[in-house]
């Protein structure tokens, strides 16, 4: 698959932003819950968005070799930050917004760490595959190397 075309990339990003807007809309239309519950739901929305986005980006860019990993990172980090900021800014109460901002920041940091783990693991796997291919004469063909 490799790095998506510009059209596919734009569609992925637009889809992620639409999904983010839906999550924010669902959060701000929640009524009858305590500020603590609303704060938890804000963090859960960020958690869900980040996990779904990473899955979508990785699916679009396999195998995760050097350029594909850079592409995932280049899109993932700004989009999760944009979404987290949107969630925070959608909360009108300043005290709630501050508490949610802390929870959101924790979730974003967790997902940045998750991204690093996933990309490092993919790089290690790709390196092992490339090393094995070099030893049996299949070097230079990443797609073929992934199949073996």
Task: For 67-107, write each residue's pLDDT tens digit.
Answer: 888 899 999 999 999 999 999 999 999 999 999 999 999 99
The beta strand positions in 26-140, using DSSP E, are: none
Cα–Cα distance for residue pair 132/142, rounded to 1 Å: 11
Cα–Cα distance for residue pair 112/118, rounded to 1 Å: 10
Say if residues 112 and 100 touch (Cβ distance below 8 Å): no
Cα–Cα distance for residue pair 101/141, rounded to 1 Å: 45
Cα–Cα distance for residue pair 71/36, rounded to 1 Å: 36
At 101-111, the pLDDT tens digits run: 999 999 999 99
When mean pLDDT is compared across 30-34, 107-111, 122-126, 128-132, the lowest value belongs to 128-132
pLDDT of residue 126: 60
pTM over 0.85: no
Nearest alpha-carbon partner for 56 in 102, 91, 113, 11: 11
pLDDT of residue 148: 37
Is residue 78 classed exposed, middle or buried when 0-12, 13-18 and 19+ CB atoms within 10 A define those classes?
Answer: exposed
* Measured CA distances, 117 to 40, 113, 123 (Å): 25, 6, 10
């Amino acid at each position: 698959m490799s790095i998506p075309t510009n059209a596919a990339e734009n569609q992925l990003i637009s889809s992620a932003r639409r999904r983010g807007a839906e999550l924010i809309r669902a959060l701000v239309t929640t009524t009858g819950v305590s500020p603590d519950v609303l704060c938890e739901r804000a963090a859960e929305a960020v958690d869900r968005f980040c996990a779904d986005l990473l899955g979508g980006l990785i699916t679009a860019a396999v195998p995760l070799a050097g350029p594909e990993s850079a592409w995932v990172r280049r899109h993932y980090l700004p989009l999760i930050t944009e979404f987290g900021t949107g969630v925070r800014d959608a909360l009108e109460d300043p005290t709630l917004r501050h508490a949610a901002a802390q929870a959101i920041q924790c979730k974003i940091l967790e997902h940045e760490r998750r991204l690093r783990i996933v990309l490092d693991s993919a790089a290690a796997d790709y390196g092992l595959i490339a090393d094995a291919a070099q030893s049996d004469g299949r070097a230079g063909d990443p797609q073929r190397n992934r199949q073996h």
